[in-house]
Amino acid sequence: MKERQMRTTTITKSAFFHASRETVWEFLTNKDKLGEWYYPAEADFVEGEDYCLYRVDDTGAKVPQITGRVIELKAPVKLVTTFVIGPFNGAETTITWTLEEAADGTRLLLTHEGIAEAAGAAAMHLLMALDDGWDKHLADLRGAVAK
């Protein structure tokens, strides 16, 4: 009997912060604080509403970088959003952010699902790029929260 190979296409990250869940939560959902470590947002995240995170190009224009919809917003415990970037050609992935109390701070768990389905043949390339990107963004989040 041939053993079936399981193919993992979900990115899972864990990070610890010497800050309360409420503080970390603000950096995940507040339009201004998002810009300190990730990309600025047009508005604070609101359950059931679309969001747009943007970057500023060389001319100073705002360019949409990530779009999606806030599926669940349960402060300061759980945030679930869809996540769409250019290479996905409009296909949605899902990100779940979970905040847990840990020692004198917070443990953040990030799960990014649906990448293979959204990326098709480019799945491994995008998994590697997103995996690296999340590492950098979480390091930036740690720095922003510590200020």
Residue given tokens 């769409």 in the structure block? 84
pTM confidence score: 0.92
Residue 7 forms part of a structural domain? no
- The pLDDT, as a whole number, for residue 99 is 98
Residue 65 backbone dihedrals phi, psi, to 5 degrees: -105, -45
Mean pLDDT of the chain: 93
Indicate whether 69 pLDDT > 60. yes
- Phi and psi (nearest 5°) for 3? -80, 130
CA distance 30 to 46: 10
Let me know if residue 72 belongs to a domain: yes
Domain count, the chain: 1
Determine the Cα–Cα distance for residues 29 and 44; give it in Å rounded to an integer.
6
Q: 4 lies in a domain?
A: no
The enclosing domain of 40 has a CATH number of 3.30.530.20
Residue 39 is assigned to a structural domain of this protein: yes
